[in-house]
Amino acid sequence: GCFYRFFVGSFYQPLDSIEQYFGEKVAFYFAWLQHCSSYLIFLSVAGFIVTVCQLSSGQWDHPIRPFYSMIIMLWSFFALVGWRQRQNELKYRWNNMDHKEQETT
């Protein structure tokens, strides 16, 4: 039903159709959202485990927090490297190897 549609819609986007209709700029935006959604699953599970540990011990400064910080640091590295790979794959698929990323400030 509705939950299935929301869940599948968060992790699967028809990127080729979006690129053909709206262009690569909009398609890269949806690809970025899809990429972040899939990578955030792991981080949310790790955060939930840390929260359970904190609540069960009654301590805010639980000994697991430094390890969680390391997990976040490694996660951010792998998420960015994974995005670069995914972005290059999409550039090649859409025959757009001269696409330049624009930073918004």
Exposure of 6 in the CB half-sphere (CA atoms within 13 A): 3
Judge if pTM exceeds 0.75.
yes
* Distance in Å from the first CA to the final CA of the chain: 39
| pLDDT 10s digits, 47-63 | 999 999 999 999 888 89
DSSP code string of 79-100: HHHHHHHHHHHHHHHTT-TT--
Question: Residue 21: which H helix or E strand, with range?
Answer: helix 15-22
| pLDDT 10s digits, 6-58 | 777 667 888 889 889 998 899 999 999 999 988 999 999 999 999 999 999 99
Encoding tokens for residue 8? 């599948």
